[in-house]
Amino acid sequence: MLKRPRTLNTLIALALCVSLAACVSSQTTSFKIDDRDFPEKPDSFEIVVFEDELPDSEFTRIAHLNYHIEKTFFGPSGLKAAFDDLKKQARKVGADAIIEVKKTRSMLNETLIFNVSAVAIVFEE
């Protein structure tokens, strides 16, 4: 049986690893929808997530948050990372909680597109 040279095998494996590692890209975006500036919250501040319902107390929407990931074949699902990232963005804009979480998933050729958006809010005193 004809054996493939070791150098060639190594080269193919290396190319495959580089290619697959480069096939996941994520980006986060947030933009204000309220003119006021709110102080950034510390990392220890726990952002409450209202996935399916709205909070009982009065609130104001202050920013739109978005987490977008495009990946090919393998790679983490991205949902955990998405929520962690949304909470991080929420703290940065000075929010108390996030509401209206919306998840979408679509395909473009070989690429899986996964998007999570939410609205950052502050509770009115």
Partner 1 sequence: MLSKKLKIVSISLTTILLAAGATTPLHAGKAKVKPTSSESSEKETKRLKVVVEELAYSVDELQIASKQALVAIGCKIKKEQPDFIEAKRPNKIGVAVGSGGEILKINFKIIDENNTEITVATKKTMAGYVGQRLWSEELLENIKTILSEKE
42 binds partner 1 per the rule CB under 8 A: no
19 binds partner 1 per the rule CB under 8 A: yes
Q: Rule CB under 8 A: which of 59-98 touch partner 1?
A: 64, 66, 68, 70, 72-73
Give the long-range contacts of residues 11-15, CB within 8 A, separation 24 or more: none
Question: Between 67 and 122, whose beta carbon lies closer to partner 1?
Answer: 67
Select the span of 11-19, 37-45, 50-58, 90-98 touching partner 1 (CB under 8 A). Answer: 11-19
Beta strands in the chain (DSSP E): 24-32, 48-49, 59-72, 97-108, 111-123
Residue 84 backbone phi and psi in degrees, to 5: -60, -40
Residue bearing tokens 């193919």: 12
Residue 123 tokens read as: 């509770």
Positions touching partner 1 (CB under 8 A) are 5, 7-8, 11-12, 15, 19-20, 22-23, 25, 27, 29, 31, 33, 64, 66, 68, 70, 72-73, 104, 108-111, 113, 115, 117
